[in-house]
Every structure is written in structure tokens, then in C-alpha cells.
Amino acid sequence: MSKDETKADWASTAANELCGKPLQDLTRQTPEQIDVEPLYTAADLAGLDHLNSNPGQAPFTRGIRATMYTNRPWTIRQYAGFSTAEETNAFFKKALSAGQKGLSVAFDLATHRGFDSDHPRVKGDVGKAGVAIDTVEDMKRLFEDIPLDQMSVSMTMNGAVLPVLASFIVAGEEQGVSQDRLSGTIQNDILKEFMVRNTYIFPPDPSMRIISDIIGHTAEHMPKFNSISISGYHMQEAGANLVQELAFTLADGLEYVKAATEKGLDVDKFAPRLSFFFCIGMNFFMEAAKLRAARTLWARWMEKLFNPSDERSLMLRTHCQTSGASLAEQDPYNNIIRTTIEAMAATLGGTQSLHTNSFDEAISLPTDFSARIARNTQLILQHETGITDTVDPLAGSYYVENLTADLIQKANALISEIQDMGGMTKAVQDGLPKREIEKMATARQARVDSGQDVIVGVNKFKLSDEEPIDILDIDNDAVRARQTERLNEIRKRRDEDAVSDALGKLKLAAKDEDKNLLAATIDAMRARASVGEVSDALEEIFGRFAGQTETVKDIYKNTYGAAEEIDNIKASLNAFINTTSETPVLYMAKLGQDGHDRGAKVIASAFGDFGLDVRVGDLFQTPEEAADTAIAMGAHIIGVSSLAAGHKTLLPELIAALKDKGAEDILVICGGIIPQQDYQFLYDAGVAAIFGPGTPVPDAARETLNKATDHLKRMHNYRQDRLVTRRA
């Protein structure tokens, strides 16, 4: 029986169950524009050319190793960084004793952006979203009593990759472990930063040179170390659909290989050590298919563009992490279930290592309690489910194989488009990936807010009362004071002439394409230069990059559609205009070094669709800079998006700056990852409204407008006097 005959036979049976409802209504279209049919049969496997190999054979659709988990299960990693090196070291030791097999380091935002902890721009960031690393001494404390010749270490670092990797190398040396014995991965994926995460420092061209130099140095001196982890994780977290995550990630990888080979490196000397990093969200079958598609596409494109001799150069090895964006603040124990489902998708898709998020990470850094549950999720999957009993257990699934083929076809078309543009660097400079991801993120938020996409406990099946949960709170002031004290001690003890000489040589290397920047940075870190000093030296030569901000239009409004909620916003908007005779001006600010701007961009785009005059500020502003900008543009409202726990420092400073400048009439609202326990502190500081994770955007818009109208009624005469004074 043919494919058409098989489905026709089924359709006649199904029609009896549908009671006149069109059969086409059972077909679902995903955000990737993939039509998911209600039935797949054996006939649907015909012509799928990715099925023609076994595990361990190119194009590695079924896995990069012939035996996969039947011989060795995936590596359990937990991404962690807790304010200081000592606290993170204690967490690592506890996790290793409980069954974890590899370490994965999260750095604070000050470190990511190349600032020392005592720099005035990072007052609210030190130790907040990861561990603070200023010098080799911090790195040594991070791995104290953890033998680096026996432990694989993954480090998520891109902007300040040179001083951080050099610090790790020197810490190993001073532990007695030479470079050639170090194993692990450095993320070192800067193109992704220009697209979504924004923890860049230098412009694209010198940033690509840094990547090539690291690939070159590790290929020669660190044969067990992965020189780059090409990351799609942050793309999906920023809103990318799975086709975009696949295509943009693989296109990034091809660009890095191109950059390295153009410097004269043999592709087979470094390509087998490349690794990837994907996000695993809640579309269970498609996420498993995505990893199978990724391996197929990478092998085909590598063979097409670079024709390597070593088959290992065609292998896509990947780490995965369950989605942070899928975690909800509301009814947070549901997140344990979400993480388990995502972890199963990653393992059935054939990941090489995995991090499982803790259930409280929509609110704060994980506690020991939540981290243990996350880690045990993987242990249970490895030891109690049978997942490791056979290679590629989903192989031959009519549905999964068709999803795999659809993802290959659509991602391949997008990669081809990028190659036709001249590669990913050109595409990033054009803004294509960032723009397309922001469209997808905005549409996704509208679908959730309107109930088209169901999130249990958030927009459906909600609890009437939420029980508070314990959260981890970091004393940012104490961490910063401790780091500053240690920096001062090192500066007193070190040989300043040696530091100056090493930094001078680093600057000369930056001007000379034939010099290796990682080698020069290692010398600087041996002399006890700091992360900030190395970054400053390179900034003198390369400059510091400032991204351009833009928002998408009409995506949110068109996706949400007409509804009473939108009409209510119009009424609130008209009330504001009738009261003030002005269109409300909202200034969206990102304070500190938090570059995650998905939330800010979605709010800006949606509020703009609702009729507000929305201006988006530059990333990485200080509170004083944000206040000055808002005043200069005549803003009625400042909206602050906070995702990195700096709110208790930065928001009070913003409100104080507005008061000092005589601008109390500007209303301050905030949203993001802000624990309920901190709300009263922020209200007491003068914040007018707080919108936590899961707040529908129309609700936030209506409440903002109503509060702004009431506030300006009280402040009307004051504001008019201030505007007249400023115009004069």
C-alpha cells in the first residue's frame, strides 16, 4: 500500500471520530513553519537520505560513536558559579562527590565584560550571576584540591576569553599540570554574543582574530582541550526557533573554521576538537530530532567547504543544557518536570554531556537543595530508565525521522543564504540573525500572553496562592569588598615592571597578526596582571564595541490579535494623553553589565505596538547615565529590565540619580528575574511597579499607563516647570 493509500485508509476511519470537523484541523504548524501531520507511516520514511548510515559513521545522524551510551553514558555537568572562588569550589567538591563527572564554570558579568571587581561600572554585578575572577589567584582558589589533570573543565567565556583561559592555564601550571594535560572546553564563541547575549568587548574583526589565535595555540599545545564551544543555547534562550538555532549555530562554526584555515591552520589539526552547545526546550520530539539534524548538517557542510581528510573533523560533538527560558516563577516545582522532559530529549538525541537546570533558576541562582534535584535527574535517567541500553532508541520513528528531515532541509536553506551573504560575520554585521530572532521572541511572547501557547501554572491551571520557596541571595557588596581587597594585595606584592613589560608585549602582539595573543596573555597573567588590565591593554589597540539597538514592529500586535486586553490598553493610553496632552515616552534601560536583552526588546516592541513612544537605551549603562538619557529625551517612564540580580543595587541608585537631578516626575518600573522577597525593598526605594516572569505584557502596559497617569496628575505642575526650565 502506498503512502497516499495508507493515509487515505486512516483518514476514513479518523473522519468518524471527528464528527464533521475537517481533518486538516489536526495538522499543526510549528514556529519553524514545519507542518506536523496527525499521522506518519512507514511510507513517510521513503527517500529520507539521512537514514543511510550507522552510529559512528558519517554523517553521524545516529551518533558520533558506534556504541554511544551502551559503552559510556553522557557526562553529567552542572554549570555553577557562586560569587567567590571559595564558594564555587565548595559546590564543585560536593557535586563531584555526589556523582557529577565534569565541571562547568559560570563567571559573573564583570568578568565576562573584562572589568576588574573594583571598577565603578560593575558595582551591582560582582559575584551576582557567577564567580568573580580577577587574577590567577582567584582561578587557583576555584580549583583548589581539584586535580586539573583528572578533571574536564568547561568554561562559558567569550568577551574576556584571553585572560580567563590564560588564568586557567597558569593555575594548572602552578598546580603542576602542564598545558598538554589540561582537558575541557572554553566557549570562545563571540559571533553569538553579537547576536543575542551581548557579553562582547572588542569589535567583530579583532574578536575573530582572538578566536583564531586560541584555536592555533590549543591545537599546538593543548591536544586534550576543546578550543571553542559553538553555542546555539543562548539563541534559543533569546527566542530563536529550532531552525534558526541550528542554522545560525552551524554557520558560526563554519565561520570559525574558515577563519582558522585562512590563518594557515590544517583543518584536521583542530576541527576534531571543536564542540557545540545546544539548548533543549519543551518540544520533546523536535529537540531530539534537532541534534540528529545538527550532526548530519555539520558533516555535510564541513565536507563541502573544507574537504577534511580525518573523518573526526566531520563529527559534531555537543554539550546540551535544559532551557532556562522554559522555567517559570509561578508554581516553580513544575520546573522539575520540565527539566526532566528536556533532559530526556537531549539524551535521546545523543548529547555528549548535559547540564540540567535547577527548578528555582527563574528566580535566582540555585540552592544546594535545588541543584541536588537537578543533578539526580540525570543520575536517574542514566541508571533507572533504560535509555542507555541501546544506541539511538528513536531511530526509525516515522515522526522523528520526518522531523529530522524537515529540520535538515529548512536549516540547510538558511545556512546557504548566509553563505551567499559572505558568511556569518557579514550576516551579523548586517543584523540578520539578531533581527530574525527578535521577531520570533516577540511573536512567542504574544502567543503565550494570548493563551495560544499554554504554560501550565502561568497562563492556565494557575494556583490561587503561591507558596514562597527558599532562594539563594548573594551579598554583592561583601563580595565586591573582598575581591577589591584581594586585588589590592596582589598589586602590592607583584613586580610592577614585569606586569608593565608583559602588557606592553601584549599590545605589540595585538598590532602584529603573526603573534599569538593567547601566548602573550599567558605571560601577562603569570606576572599577575588582572583580567581588567589585559582587557584595557587590548582595548587600546582594538577599541571597545558598542552594539546598535533596534526593535521590531507590529509582530506582537498582529500575533496577539484583537482582544479586550488590547482595548483596555487603548483606554489607558487615551486617559494618559487626555491628562497630559502628551504621548507617553517610555525609556527602556539596561543597567550594569547584563547583556541579556530579550525581555527589554519584547517589552519595547510590544509597548510600541500599543501606541507608546518607546526609546531603547544603550546596553551597559550606569544608573547615572540612564537618568541623564531619560531626562534629555523627556521620558515619562523608565523601564528597567533586570535578569542578573543587580536590581537591589542598581534601581535605588537610578532613583537617587533622578532625585538628585530634579526628575522625580519620571516613573520607574522594572521587570525580569526579581524574587518576590525583594519586591518590598524596591517599592520602598521608589519603584512604582514590578513585573516578574510570566506577567502578560498587556497587563504590564495597562498598569504602567495607569500608574503613570496618576503619578503625573500629582506631578503635573512640577513637570511643566522642569520642561520650561530645560527648554530655556
Measured CA to CA, the distance from residue 352 to residue 75 in angstroms comes to 6
Q: Which of 79, 556, 560, 587 is catalytic?
A: 79
Q: Which of 233, 256, 556, 587 is catalytic?
A: 233
Instruction: Kindly state the cell numbers that stand for 461.
Output: 491551571
Catalytic annotation on 596? yes
Measured CA to CA, the distance from residue 48 to residue 333 in angstroms comes to 40
For every residue of 174-241, DSSP letters joined together read: HTT--GGG-EEEE---HHHIIIII----S-HHHHHHHHHHHHHHHHHH-TTEE--EEE-HHHHHTT--
Catalytic annotation on 430? no
Q: Which of 290, 596, 601, 647 is catalytic?
A: 596
What are residue 279's DSSP bridge partners?
A: 321
Catalytic annotation on 79? yes
Measured CA to CA, the distance from residue 670 to residue 210 in angstroms comes to 37
Measured CA to CA, the distance from residue 368 to residue 87 in angstroms comes to 12
Measured CA to CA, the distance from residue 296 to residue 289 in angstroms comes to 11
Which of 110, 114, 170 minimizes the C-alpha distance to 140?
A: 170
What are residue 460's DSSP bridge partners?
A: 456
Which of 648, 662, 655 minimizes the C-alpha distance to 626?
A: 655
Q: What are the residues whose beta carbons fall under 8 Å from the beta carbon of 491, sequence distance 6 or more?
A: none
Q: Which of 594, 597, 665, 678 is catalytic?
A: 594
225-226: strand order across its sheet: 225-226, 183-186, 152-155, 102-105, 75-80, 353-355, 318-322, 275-280, 229-231
Instruction: Kindly state the cell numbers that stand for 609.
Output: 505596538
Q: Which of 119, 234, 410, 439 is catalytic?
A: 234
Ramachandran region, residue 47 (left: φ > 0; alpha: ψ -120 to 50; beta: rest)? left
Instruction: Kindly state the cell numbers that stand for 288.
Output: 531530539
Q: Which of 192, 290, 557, 590 is catalytic?
A: 590
Measured CA to CA, the distance from residue 132 to residue 130 in angstroms comes to 7
Measured CA to CA, the distance from residue 26 to residue 288 in angstroms comes to 22
Geometric angle at alpha carbon 188, from 184 and 193, rounded to 5°: 140
464 SS3 class = coil
Catalytic annotation on 590? yes
Residue 573's Cβ-side half-sphere holds a number of Cα atoms within 13 Å equal to 21
Catalytic annotation on 567? no
Distances (CA, A) of 660 to 489, 623, 631, 636, 720: 35, 12, 12, 17, 18
Q: Write out the catalytic residue numbers.
A: 79, 233-234, 590, 594, 596
